[in-house]
Amino acid sequence: MTLKSRRRGAALEDAILEAAWDVLIDNGYPGFTYDAVAARAGTSRPVLSRRWPQRDDLVVAAIAAYRRRHRVDVPDTGSLREDALGLLRALNADRIQMVTVAGVQLMGFFRGAGTSMNDLRASLIGPDEPQPFEVLVARAVARGELPDVPRSAVVVNMPFDLLRHDLIMTMRVIPDEKLVAIVDEAWLPLLTR
């Protein structure tokens, strides 16, 4: 007779956070309970509440774990335009589920916690972590592709902001021609003027 080994440490935490994400997707915030997550993860409620004393702590941890599992690498092709399009395409394909969850399933969380999507984003991204489009622009300046002049964060991060806006407003993947227009018709002209 073989005994099933118990998960511990990182393996258990990974299973819980994946189960928590699935419960959030399936049930939304109102159905996001310790009991539902514990049942999906095959563990007990006390195991969850020891690690995450508040339900909202577990919500944020599940979102952070999803973000880590679906990290989007910043391309480095040697061309600012190609890097920007590659990054937008990757974000477009990968972030739709997260945007949908944040936009629809978390309204109760934001109301109850007195926070917003911006607060959640700030808690997931470290204050010193450079934004992907800031990295792209810095590389382009270092290559001599762009002049080394001051640029506002509004201009530098515009492609991501426009993509996020369209994802939230449509709740679906954005057509590629729109991504090309963001880069070619809006962003690059602003960066080079």
pLDDT digits (tens, 9 = 90+) for 88-108: 999 998 877 777 676 677 888
Residue 4 pLDDT > 60? no
Rounded Cα distance, 69 and 99, in Å? 15
- Give per-residue pLDDT as tens, 8-52: 788 899 999 999 999 998 898 899 999 999 999 999 999 999 999
Q: Give yes or no: residues 84 and 105 share one domain.
A: yes
Whichever domain contains 44, its CATH number is 1.10.10.60
Instruction: Report yes or no on 122 lying in a domain.
Output: yes
Residue 1 pLDDT > 50? no
Type of residue found at 111: R
Residues spanned by the domain of 55: 9-66
Instruction: Report yes or no on 2 lying in a domain.
Output: no
Number of domains forming the structure of the chain: 2
Radius of gyration of the chain (CA): 20
Residue 3 is predicted with a pLDDT of 40
DSSP code of 131? Answer: P
Residue 5 is predicted with a pLDDT of 54
Angle at CA of residue 95, ends 94 and 99, nearest 5° = 155
Q: Give yes or no: residues 136 and 97 share one domain.
A: yes
Q: Give yes or no: residues 25 and 97 share one domain.
A: no
Q: Give yes or no: residues 127 and 165 share one domain.
A: yes
- Percent of the chain scored above 70 by pLDDT? 94
Q: Give yes or no: residues 134 and 161 share one domain.
A: yes
Q: Give yes or no: residues 83 and 48 share one domain.
A: no
Instruction: Report yes or no on 1 lying in a domain.
Output: no
Q: Give yes or no: residues 123 and 152 share one domain.
A: yes
Helix (H) or strand (E) holding 62: helix 55-69
Please give the residue that has the higher pLDDT: either 103 or 75. 75
Q: Give yes or no: residues 60 and 80 share one domain.
A: no
Instruction: Report yes or no on 4 lying in a domain.
Output: no
Q: Give yes or no: residues 145 and 168 share one domain.
A: yes
Whichever domain contains 174, its CATH number is 1.10.357
Q: Give yes or no: residues 100 and 151 share one domain.
A: yes
Q: Give yes or no: residues 95 and 180 share one domain.
A: yes
